[in-house]
A and B are shown apart, each in its own frame.
Chain A
Amino acid sequence: MYNDKNAQTIVDYIQNFTRKNSLFMLAYGTGCGAIELPATLTSRYDAERLGVRGAATPRQADLLLITGYLSTKTLKRVIRVYEQMQDPKYVIGFGSCTINGGMYWDSYNTIKLLDKYIPVDVYINGCMPRPESVISGFQELKRLIAAGKADGAKKYKENLEWYRENQKKVLKNWPLVEYNW
């Protein structure tokens, strides 16, 4: 049951409350930004007090964190992992590299805009973003969830054709598996 933007019933309210306060995060440590995550999760900044905790596998995760530049080779894995996650699921693009390529803007084997391949709910900019901004990114995502606006997964399902086309453009001769939730 996806949330009607205009009217949230009490059930929606509770669901969104639990969803926003319990984010199981799968940190896909692709780029250099991954080094900020330990600091975010451990004693100094302690993301667990906000309900964010690590998940070991995509099946258990709610939140996919792409930390930095994404080479095309890794992109297939990321798509696979994203599709294995279970609805509702959110993506955070972490660092300038996921927004416009960052310092890899003219690299031949990294993607420039993550949103063309998987739906991103929140971007955190910076190169690399400090833990404070990561946490503010989490808070922004929470705000979106509470408002029922973090519906990347729904967008992905609806515009699957478009996403697949983009993915195929960079992933040549790679058999894309059927979307299987």
Chain B
Amino acid sequence: MNTILIQILGALATILLAFIVGMFYGGAHRKVIARIQNRVGPPIYQNFIDVLKLYSKETSINHGVMQHMGPVFAITASITSLMFVPILTDGNWFSNLNFSGDLVFLVYMMVFGSLGMALGAGQTGNPNSAIGVTRGLSQMVGYEIPFVMAMVALMTQFHTTSITGMIAVQQQSGTWLMFSNPFAFMAAIMAMLGMFSYAPFDIVTAPAEVSSGPISEFGGKYLGMMMTSGSIFAFVKLALFVDIFMGGASNLVVLVIKTFALYMIPVLYGVISPRYRTEQAITYFWKWPLFFGFIAILYAAF
């Protein structure tokens, strides 16, 4: 009984950590964009205010049960994936369900949310939502392949498919996997650009083209829940990359430094880029990233 209570408390702490870090990173993203455009920019805690305001909206409109459940699917996927990603390497802190699933599971779990969200967006009947969803799914086919190639390369190289196993490999050898298999790192980083859907890959929620796409009919608490889910999910992705390629983090400060450094890659790549067309975005991932993935597997296997 006691252990279950402690587990639940640990899970809540993890969620809170992911939420706060993700929110601040979102604020930092806006700040960076503003500074590069020579603006002052919103305060770094602006995203907290936005989310609180969205939750405090009084009315909320839905077009049916699936739209009502769409954000719930999204946050379920974010939190469940968070439970399976190791946050810190040592100590019993934040080790929620780290030993119950492996990378293959996580790849699927991370897709779950966007598909559930897509169902919710579909029910609104807004054509922009459906267009946004098709763009998102098409883009996903693009970036999943190099990402999976990088993962398969690492799995074959180190004979483990679990994230904890990969952390253990790095702790034993003392080198980060981004140096052990640099090609896999390249492929995965390029795939990460698509995963974050910042420019130039922000074709899903392009406000000027499809008026924010899947979320165009979501407001108030629904939008709030999706922002929450999005920031948790951003943290999940960053923590996963840190665990796999950068040797994990032994304490929170290291974690924040490493994730922030990683987070700046899509952000900085994004601020200076225009937006791709959908098929350009897909084929982008099927050129150099695919090549790097291919080399990475060869490098790992032979």
**Chain A residues at the B interface, C-beta cutoff of 8 Å:** 1, 14-15, 17-19, 21-22, 24, 42-43, 46, 48-49, 51, 53-57, 59-62, 84-88, 180-181
Beyond the given pairs A51-B49, A56-B207, A60-B216, 18 more chain A to chain B contacts, judged by CB atoms under 8 angstroms and listed by A's residue number, are A1-B58, A18-B56, A19-B56, A21-B49, A21-B53, A22-B49, A46-B40, A48-B30, A48-B42, A51-B42, A51-B46, A54-B207, A59-B219, A60-B215, A84-B61, A86-B61, A87-B59, A181-B59
Q: Digitize B177-211: 1 where CB-to-A-CB distance is under 8 Å, 0 elsewhere.
A: 00000000000000000000000000000010001
Q: How many A-B residue pairs have CB under 8 A?
A: 85
Which A residues touch B58, using CB under 8 A?
Answer: 1, 86-88
Q: How far is the CA of A85 from the CA of B61 in the complex (A)?
A: 9
Cβ of A151 to closest chain B Cβ, rounded Å? 11
Known: A46-B39, A48-B39. A59 touches B218 (CB 8 A): yes
Which B residues touch A180, using CB under 8 A?
Answer: 61
Which B residues touch A85, using CB under 8 A?
Answer: 219
**Chain B residues at the A interface, C-beta cutoff of 8 Å:** 30, 34, 37-43, 46, 49-50, 52-53, 56-61, 207, 211-212, 215-220, 223
Sort A-B residue pairs by CB-CB distance and give the 5 closest, nearest first: A59-B219, A56-B212, A18-B53, A56-B207, A46-B39
Cross-interface CB contact of A181 among B30, B38, B56, B61, cutoff 8 Å: B61
Which B residues touch A18, using CB under 8 A?
Answer: 49, 52-53, 56
Closest B residue to A59 by beta carbon equals B219
Q: How far is the CA of A74 from the CA of B183 in the complex (A)?
A: 56
Q: How far is the CA of A110 from the CA of B223 in the complex (A)?
A: 35
Which A residues touch B56, using CB under 8 A?
Answer: 15, 18-19
- Flag if A56 contacts B211 (CB, 8 Å): yes
Q: How far is the CA of A61 from the CA of B40 in the complex (A)?
A: 23
Q: How far is the CA of A150 from the CA of B217 in the complex (A)?
A: 25
Which A residues touch B41, using CB under 8 A?
Answer: 46, 48-49
- Flag if A14 contacts B211 (CB, 8 Å): no
Closest A residue to B30 by beta carbon equals A48
Q: How far is the CA of A59 from the CA of B220 in the complex (A)?
A: 8
- Flag if A49 contacts B37 (CB, 8 Å): no
- Flag if A57 contacts B50 (CB, 8 Å): no
Residue among B38, B46, B56, B211 with the highest chain A CB neighbour number at 10 A: B56
Q: How far is the CA of A41 from the CA of B25 in the complex (A)?
A: 22
Q: How far is the CA of A4 from the CA of B1 in the complex (A)?
A: 46
- Of the A-B pairs whose beta carbons lie under 8 Å apart in the complex, a sample of 20, sorted by A's number, is A1-B58, A15-B56, A42-B39, A46-B39, A46-B40, A48-B30, A48-B39, A48-B42, A49-B34, A49-B42, A51-B42, A51-B46, A59-B216, A59-B217, A60-B212, A60-B223, A62-B53, A86-B220, A88-B58, A181-B59
Cross-interface CB contact of A46 among B34, B207, B212, B215, cutoff 8 Å: B34
Closest A residue to B56 by beta carbon equals A15
Which B residues touch A61, using CB under 8 A?
Answer: 219
